[in-house]
Amino acid sequence: MSTDTQVLLDHNRAWAARMERERPGFFTGLMAQQKPRYMWIGCSDSRVPANEITGLEPGEIFVHRNVGNVVVHSDLNALSTIQFAVEHLKVKHVMVVGHYGCAGVRAALQGLRIGLSDNWLRHISDLKLRHRKRIDYLPSEQQEDTLCEINVIEQVGNVALSTVMQDAWDRGQKVAVHGWVYGLRDGLLKDLQVSMDGPDTVVDIFRAAIKRYPHAQHHADDRVLDTAFDPLA
């Protein structure tokens, strides 16, 4: 057996023994129930582990991850996971969590070709085009961070407008959607202030969140540049 993978199995046995020694019955409790209050929709990046970042134990957060933390209405994988979390696990909070330094966002921003994932990242490329007047005039590093944040806000809107969330709210279920970004530099989560807890909150909160990223302005007369591609302008 490869020593590269054997070390993982060794670590697992050591961890399981330590957990049972320090917290007897820990695994028996996990087997008995799964009742997380939270769902995390994040990027597949290995540097962004949901449980460790939030200080939660196994069984306390339900996780779905993909490249670029994207949620689109044709992705049955993401939607079925959200439905299971909302309708069956009865989570109270769904967090869409991006992270600064995201390679997927960088590829979309710079138009880099990385392979099959280009088709998936087209969703983020489309956001870059739609919000180009809010992004293109910024310094390069700030462009990337801004697109990371805008991507999270857009995905929060997609989750909120999904049939799963709309049906849950119609039933009177108490569940909210939030948007955060994780900083690899400092390990901190940033709340993008885009929380939505009902169908009548979605448009206004989304609009206010996007408006926090101003358009470039002409230096000569301080007029806002053309916004033909921005539906919120």
> Using CA atoms, how far apart are residues 51 and 123, in angstroms rounded to an integer?
27
Q: Fill in the DSSP letter of residue 45.
A: -
Look at residues 44, 54, 55 and name the one whose alpha carbon lies nearest to residue 99.
44
Q: Residue 70 corresponds to which tokens in the numbers above?
A: 């994207």
> Using CA atoms, how far apart are residues 212 and 150, in angstroms rounded to an integer?
10
Q: What is residue 60's three-state secondary structure?
A: coil
Q: How far apart are the first and last CA of the chain?
A: 59
Cβ contact 202:224 at 8 Å: no
**Pairing of β 93-99 and β 176-182:** parallel
> Using CA atoms, how far apart are residues 165 and 187, in angstroms rounded to an integer?
30
Residues annotated as catalytic are 43, 45, 47, 99, 102
**Pairing of β 176-182 and β 189-191:** antiparallel
> Using CA atoms, how far apart are residues 61 and 85, in angstroms rounded to an integer?
10
